């Protein structure tokens, strides 16, 4: 009778990887100058407590609530319009960057020719550039181009999230079963028809899940971009901070919290109904 092996054969590799991660983490902690002890300092704790105490009472006058409602709707509009433009950019870019509809792959045993791969590099490089620049930098650029307001936020989200969605969509297209689309291409079907009937049905659920997640992120990003003049709740929070109106800031933060919770619940509902 064979005795079972009680020792985990992967124990030493896991221990080595853990030690390596700790060795790499230590320089990062040093470079970031992380020092949690300052939080326990009595003067720092007093300053933080005074700052938080200024948030009470919450601002709730009628004129401010009307301003708050308008800023909240503006934040939702910035995120939604930006995502709509991002989709218009991402889907065509993903089709051009993906190998899912490559005719050379059909005729070369599933592997695209070198010239076909080289032709996709300009689109992939463009997507890298779009998503590498933070949306707040794009917002600063567009604020100087179109002025203060939500237009700059919409364009910034469209550019940055277009690059993110395009990259992920291209990977999703390449991860689905390629046989339906290749069979359509071999039969002489146009590429768009092969995409619509061979790729999209298998990729739609994953695309929808990631798109809804990015819409949630766009709501948060639209608030951050408001601090550079891109409209929405962020711009109003920045103005209230400059005027030392802490009660207004607290009310807007609570409104933003409710907005994020609402977006989370809506995304869960969409995933449950459509996926």
Q: Say if residue 5's pLDDT is above 60.
A: no
pTM for the predicted model, two decimal places = 0.77
Whether 91 maps to a domain, the answer reads yes
Whether 30 maps to a domain, the answer reads no
Whether 165 maps to a domain, the answer reads yes
As for how many domains the chain has, the answer is 1
Say how far apart CA 57 and CA 78 lie, in whole Å: 29
Whether 17 maps to a domain, the answer reads no
- Per cent of the chain over pLDDT 90 is 7
Q: Say if residue 84's pLDDT is above 90.
A: yes
54-66 residue pLDDT tens: 778 787 788 878 8
Whether 32 maps to a domain, the answer reads no
At 88 the pLDDT is 92
Q: Residue 191 is part of a domain; what is its CATH number?
A: 1.10.3720.10
- Domain containing 134 equals 62-274
Whether 187 maps to a domain, the answer reads yes
State the average pLDDT for the chain: 80
At 87 the pLDDT is 92
Q: Say if residue 136's pLDDT is above 90.
A: no
Q: Say if residue 199's pLDDT is above 70.
A: yes
At 259 the pLDDT is 81
At 2 the pLDDT is 54
As a whole number, mean pLDDT of residues 155-165 equals 92
Between 114 and 264, the more confident residue is 264
200-234 residue pLDDT tens: 888 888 888 888 888 888 888 888 888 887 778 88
Whether 39 maps to a domain, the answer reads no
Whether 14 maps to a domain, the answer reads no
At 127 the pLDDT is 87
As a whole number, mean pLDDT of residues 163-188 equals 82
pLDDT confidence band for 143 (50 / 70 / 90): confident
Between 177 and 135, the more confident residue is 135
């Amino acid at each position: 009778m064979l005795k079972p092996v009680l020792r985990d054969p992967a124990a030493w590799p896991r221990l080595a990887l853990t030690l390596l991660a700790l060795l790499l983490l230590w320089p990062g902690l040093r470079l970031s100058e992380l020092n949690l002890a300052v939080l326990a300092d009595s003067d720092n704790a007093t300053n933080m407590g005074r700052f938080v105490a200024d948030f009470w009472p919450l601002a709730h006058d009628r004129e401010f609530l009307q301003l708050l409602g308008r800023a909240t709707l503006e934040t939702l509009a910035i995120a939604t319009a930006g995502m709509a433009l991002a989709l218009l950019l991402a889907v065509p870019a993903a089709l051009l960057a993906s190998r899912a509809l490559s005719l050379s792959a059909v005729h070369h045993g599933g592997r695209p020719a070198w010239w076909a791969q080289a032709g996709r590099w300009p689109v992939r490089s463009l997507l890298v550039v779009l998503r590498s620049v933070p949306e707040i930098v794009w917002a600063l650029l567009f604020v100087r181009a179109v002025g203060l307001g939500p237009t700059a936020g919409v364009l910034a989200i469209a550019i940055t999230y277009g690059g993110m969605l395009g990259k992920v969509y291209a990977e999703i297209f390449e991860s689905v079963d390629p046989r339906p689309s290749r069979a359509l291409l071999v039969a002489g079907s146009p590429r768009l028809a092969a995409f619509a009937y061979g790729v999209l049905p298998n990729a739609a659920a994953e695309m929808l899940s990631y798109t809804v997640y990015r819409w949630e992120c766009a709501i948060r990003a639209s608030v951050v971009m408001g601090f550079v003049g891109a409209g929405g709740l962020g711009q109003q929070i920045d103005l209230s901070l400059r005027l030392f109106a802490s009660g207004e800031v607290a009310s807007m933060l609570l409104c933003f919290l409710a907005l994020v919770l609402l977006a989370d619940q809506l995304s869960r509902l969409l995933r449950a109904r459509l996926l």
